[in-house]
Chain A
Amino acid sequence: MSRRTTQRMVIRTPEGVEFGLILAGPVSRFLAWLVDSACLAFAAFVLSALVSALMPFQSDLMAGLFAVTLYALFTGYRIAAEWFLRGQTIGKRLLRLRVIDAQGLRLGFSQIVVRNLLRFVDALPLLYFVGGVLTILSKRSQRLGDLAANTVVVREETFATPNLERTLPGKFNSLKHYPHLAARLRQRVSPEAAKLALHALQRRDSLSPEARVSLFAELADYFKSLMPFPEEATLGVSDENYLRNVVDVVFSERTHAAPPT
C-alpha cells in the first residue's frame, strides 16, 4: 500500500492514485519539542505566580492544586493540542509539522493518547535519547510512540504561487516556437526537477559566478537530455537562458492555475 523514498512516504490508494507525504526529520521534531517545552515552561511560570499570590490563603490546598495542575499540563498538553489542533501542537504548527495516521487515515483519539503516553519510554534515559535514535533509524522516522500508535509526523507543504514575474521578466522564449516539443517537455519534467530549476533561477544572484555557471550548465544539460529541441531553438542561448526558457515553458502557462488556497 505504501512505500518510502528519501524522507517521503508515498501512499497508493486502492483506486491506484499515489500521493506523497514528506516525513519530518529528527531535527525539526526536536525543535518543535523545544518550542512546546518553552510554552509549557511559560505556562508553569504563570501558574506558579498565580499560586504564589493565593498561597497565603490556603497554602496546602494551593500547593496540592499547583502540583496536580502542573503534572496534568505537562502530561496532557500534547494530547489535548494534537486532538483539538488535528495533529499539531504549538511547536509543530510553528515548524509546519503534523501528526497523521501512518496509512493516511483519520487520526484517532486513542492514537494520540498512546503516542504521547509512550513518551515516558521515548524520553529515556534523558532528552528523548531512545526516541531520537529510533527516529533516525526507522524507515518512517517513527519513535516508539509512533510505532505503537501507528502514526507518522509529516511536514506540511505550503502552496505559494511562484513569483514568475520577477524570475522570468518577459524575455523572448525560443522554445515556445515548438509547442508540441514544449508540451512533451512539460510531460517529461518531474515536479522535483521543475522546482529545482525554478529555485536555481530564484537564487541565481546569491551564487558565486563560478558556481552559477557550473550549476546552470549542469541543469541545462539535464533538461536538454530530457527533451532535445532543434538547433535553431538553442543556438546562441546561454545555459542560464535555456533554463529560464524551460521554467517558462513548465510554469508560466499555469500562472492562472495557482492552487486555490
Chain B
Amino acid sequence: MIIDLERFITEERPRWNELERFLDRLANEAAYRFNMATARRFHYLYQRASSDLVKLGTYGAEPELLQYLESLVARAYGEIHETRKRPHQLRIWHWLRHVAPQTFRRHAAAFYLSFGITMLGCLLGSVFVIHPEAKRTLLPYAHLQIDPAERIEQERELYERANEEGFDPLAGRKARGTAFYIINNTRVSYVTMALGITWGLGTVAVLFGNGVLLGAVCMDYVRAGEGVFLAGWLFPHGATEIPAILIAGQAGFVLARALIGWATRDPLRERMRAIGPDLVTLVGCVTLLLVWAGFVEAYLSQYHFVVPFWIKIGFGATELVLLFLYLFYSGRTEKPTETGPAGASGAP
C-alpha cells in the first residue's frame, strides 16, 4: 500500500515523462532505433510504469491518473511486445523484383483455384451463348448484343471514314477511357478480394461471373468468324487485366483460407495477422497491372483498324509471356520474404 501518495507521484512522474518522450519519439520518427542501453532503459521504464499502475490501481487512485498510466503502459506494451518488422523505407525495386512475385508464388494454389473457377465460367458461358435467348442474358451490354460481324463492319466504316477525313475516332475519349477502365477494373478487383471474407463464396461468384461473360464474348466472336478481331481487341489489355483479376481472386481465397483456418491450428487473429502483408502485396500487384491495362485498353486495344492486328496480338502475347516469367521466376535467387510475426525481428 502507498502511504504517501503525493510523494510517490512526485518521485515517479519524471520516469513517466521519460517513458512518454521515448514513445513520442518512436511514433514520430520512423527511422529511430534503440541501441542496447536505451532499449534496456525503455524496458525498465515500461516495467516501472506497469508496477506503478498496479500499485495505484490497488490504492483506488484518481481515475484520470489511472487512465493516464493505463494509456502509457498500453503504448509501451505495443512497442515492447511487437515482433513485426517496422517498415522504415519503401524499397520499390526490391518490392517489385522480390516481394511481389514471391508472395504470388507462396499462394500459388489460391491462384490456380481462381484460374480454375474463371475457366469453368468461361466454359459454361461459351456453351450457353450459342442459344440466342441466353446471349441476351449473358451479355447485358448493348455493344455486345449485336451480331459481331455487324459491329465490326460498323467499326471498319468508321475507321475508313476517319482515315479519309483525317480525324481520330477516339479523340477526346482516351484519357476518360483510361480513367474509366482503371476505376472500374480496380473496383471489381478490390471487391473480389474483399469478398473473401464471405468464406470465399463471394469471390467464387465474381470470378465465375467474369468467366461466363468472357467465355460468352469469345465464343460469340469465334462463331461469327471474327476470332482475329477479337484477339486484337482483347489481347493487348486482357493479357494483364485478366491475370490481375485472377490475382485479386487469389487474394480473396488467401483471406478466405485464413478465415476458415484450413490446415492450421493457429487462432483466427494470428491467421489474420499473418496474411495481412501478403494481401496488401497482392492488392498492390493488382493495382499496378490494372493501371497499365487501363492505358493499353484506351490507347491501343480500342484502335481497331489503325494498328495491324498481328502487332496488337504480338504485343499482348509478349506482355503475357513477360508477366508469366515475372510472376513465376522473378526473385527466385533471393531468400523468400517472411510474413507475419514468425521470423520478424524484435522491436524496437
Contact = CB atoms under 8 A, between A and B. Distances in A.
Which of B81, B82, B180, B197 is the most central at the interface, judged by chain A CB atoms within 10 Å of its CB?
Answer: B197
B272 A150 contact: yes
A19 B74 contact: yes
B272 A149 contact: yes
**Most chain A CB neighbours (cut-off 10 Å) among B5, B64, B175, B272:** B64
Contact of A15 (B47, B193, B202): B47
| Interface of A: prevailing SS | helix
Interface in B40-59: 47, 50-51, 53-54, 57-59
Interface residues of B, number: 73
A65 B1 CA distance: 66
A259 B68 contact: yes
**Helix, strand, loop or mixed for chain B's interface?**
helix
Contacts of A258: 64-65
A228 interface: no
Contact of A19 (B5, B51, B77, B269): B77
Contacts of B47: 15
Contact of A159 (B13, B60, B68, B187): B68
Contact of B176 (A13, A63, A114, A190): A63
A253 to B, nearest CB: 6
B70 A19 contact: yes
Interface string A131-162: 00000000000001001111000000101111
Given A13-B50, A157-B71, A254-B6, A260 B16 contact: yes
Interface string A181-208: 0010011111110110000000000000
A44 to B, nearest CB: 14
Contacts of B175: 60-61, 63-65
A120 B194 contact: yes
Nearest to B278: A110
Contacts of B102: none
Interface of B: 1, 5-6, 9-10, 13, 16-17, 20, 27, 47, 50-51, 53-54, 57-71, 73-74, 77-79, 81-82, 84, 86-87, 171-180, 182-183, 186-187, 190-191, 193-195, 197-198, 202, 255, 259, 269, 272-273, 276-277, 279-280, 283, 347
- 3 A-B pairs closest in CB distance: A64-B175, A259-B68, A110-B276
29 contacts: A17-B54, A17-B73, A21-B74, A60-B175, A65-B179, A68-B182, A108-B276, A109-B280, A110-B277, A113-B283, A114-B276, A114-B279, A118-B194, A119-B194, A120-B187, A121-B202, A149-B276, A150-B273, A157-B67, A157-B71, A191-B67, A192-B63, A253-B6, A254-B62, A256-B6, A256-B10, A257-B6, A257-B62, A258-B64
Interface of A: 11, 13-21, 59-61, 63-68, 71, 75, 86, 100-106, 108-111, 113-114, 117-121, 144, 147-150, 157, 159-162, 183, 186-192, 194-195, 250-251, 253-254, 256-261
